[in-house]
Amino acid sequence: MFITGFPAGVWATNCYVLAAAEGEDCVVVDPGQDSMDILREILTEHRLRPAAVVLTHGHIDHVWSVAPLTAGYDIPAYIHPDDRYRLADPAGSSFAEARESLLAMTKGELELTEPDDVRPLIDGQTIDIAGVSLRVDHAPGHTEGSLTFRTERGATQPPVMLSGDLLFAGSIGRTDLAGGDAAAMRQSLIRVVLPSDDDTIVMPGHGERTTIGDERRNNPFLQGLSAAAADGD
């Protein structure tokens, strides 16, 4: 499988591109602010054509460029139903900055508008798009509809978790924004992260990639969760 990614925009949100191989259709994950130019370079260099956009959640830094991308390639966007409302007004349903300030950062009229074709993602389903198979796990806490996506283990490749803003290298997503829930975040970490194999590669929404094993050993927010989960707390 071909996977690449890059940090985009003022929030350095990681946008990822997944394909069965170079020269094939691909899936784009979380096209954030100022992602389109770099994304086009990747598509051209590796001879890829987007078949769909999948979103880990609806915050503006992860969905900024979803409308121009879906309109430009006539493709759908996928998101959990609980975050669907955020696509109607990403500037007004994300951060504390003034909506006017966020809109002033746009470069084109399609940015921060709602995609024409939005499709739901459901907990536990597996989606198969353009030869890319992704397991969907609902992981609320950062937002109501936060998701992770997981690839299957290959013959020579460990599974990959696209963790969005659930899990970072050495940290976890914040829960103090609208729609955040610390108790739900804790349960998502217990249910989605802790059962994962240690060699699972974690590609987060921000920052460097890591592994589940490294986070299990070193992430202070995971310390004690294994024992708590075993005790049923």
Residue boundaries of the structural domains of the chain = 2-231
Element (H, E) at 160: strand 160-164
CATH architecture of 2-231: 4-Layer Sandwich (3.60)
Q: In the structure, what pLDDT confidence band is assigned to residue 233 with cuts at 50, 70 and 90?
A: low
pLDDT higher than 80, residue 121: yes
Q: In the structure, what pLDDT confidence band is assigned to residue 72 with cuts at 50, 70 and 90?
A: very high
Adjacent-strand bridge partners of 171: 168
Q: What pLDDT is attached to residue 52? A: 98
Is residue 83 within 8 A of residue 57, CB to CB? The reply is yes
Closest by CA to 83, choosing from 190, 164, 196, is 164
d(CA 218, CA 222): 8
Mean pLDDT confidence for 187-212: 97
Of 75-79, 91-95, 137-141, which range is least confident? 91-95
Q: In the structure, what pLDDT confidence band is assigned to residue 225 with cuts at 50, 70 and 90?
A: confident
pLDDT higher than 80, residue 228: no
Q: In the structure, what pLDDT confidence band is assigned to residue 156 with cuts at 50, 70 and 90?
A: confident
Q: Sort 104 into a burial class: Cβ within 10 Å, 0-12 / 13-18 / 19+.
A: exposed
d(CA 173, CA 37): 27
d(CA 62, CA 147): 12
Higher pLDDT, 150 or 99: 150
d(CA 196, CA 45): 33
pTM equals: 0.92
